[in-house]
Amino acid sequence: MAGESNGTTVIVQKSSTPADIVGQGEFSVNYGGEPITFDNKSAGDWVLRMDGELSGREVVISGPLTYSSDQSYKDVRADALAGAQDDYTLTFPNGEKVEGKFMPHGMSDTLPRGGAIVTTLTFSSNGAVTHTA
* Within-domain flag for 4: no
What mean pLDDT do residues 121-129 have? 93
- Residue among 10, 118, 25 at smallest CA distance from 67: 118
* Within-domain flag for 102: yes
Burial class (CB in 10 A: 0-12, 13-18, 19+), 44: exposed
* Within-domain flag for 2: no
Per the structure, the count of domains in the chain is 1
103: domain CATH number is 4.10.410
Using alpha carbons, list the distances in angstroms from residue 11 to 50, 97, 111.
Answer: 35, 10, 22
**41 — pLDDT class (breaks 50, 70, 90):** confident
* Within-domain flag for 35: yes
* Within-domain flag for 80: yes
Using alpha carbons, list the distances in angstroms from residue 25 to 3, 12, 22, 37, 121.
Answer: 23, 8, 10, 37, 11
**67 — pLDDT class (breaks 50, 70, 90):** confident
* Within-domain flag for 1: no
Instruction: Give pLDDT, residue 106.
Output: 94
The predicted-structure confidence for 43-52, as pLDDT tens digits, reads as follows 888 888 888 8
**Which of 5-9, 43-47, 74-78 bottoms out in mean pLDDT, i.e. has the lowest?**
5-9
**Domain residues for 29?**
10-132
Q: Is the pTM of this model over 0.75?
A: yes
Angle at 55 between CA 105 and CA 100, to 5 degrees: 45
* Within-domain flag for 3: no
What mean pLDDT do residues 90-119 have? 90
